[in-house]
Amino acid sequence: MRSLIVLALFGVALAAPKATQRVVGGETTTIEENRFVADMEYSTRGVYFEPSCGAALVSNNVLISVFSCYKYVLIRY
């Protein structure tokens, strides 16, 4: 039974997609081509920030995003 569980875990690990294959058919872009797009980043301790959502830039100081990007942040505060 134990060997069956170990074999199943190896199968799951080997079947996981590789990180380099997550974007299919994408193209490299520049800030000049997408001036209206913002990357929203989140950090739990203020040290390491990681992308959490995207947003649309409406004006110099206004972004539009969706609530699901912030629901856990709002619960915490």
Q: Which of 51, 45, 47 is nearest to 69 (CA)?
A: 51
Average pLDDT of span 9-27: 64
For residue 56, is pLDDT > 80?
Answer: yes
Domain ranges within the chain, ordered by starting residue? 33-77
For residue 69, is pLDDT > 70?
Answer: yes
- Is the whole-model pTM more than 0.75? no
pLDDT band at 60; cut points 50, 70, 90: confident
3 versus 64: the higher-pLDDT residue is 64
Q: Which of 59, 68, 21 is nearest to 40 (CA)?
A: 68
Q: Which of 30, 34, 37 is nearest to 64 (CA)?
A: 37
For residue 52, is pLDDT > 60?
Answer: yes
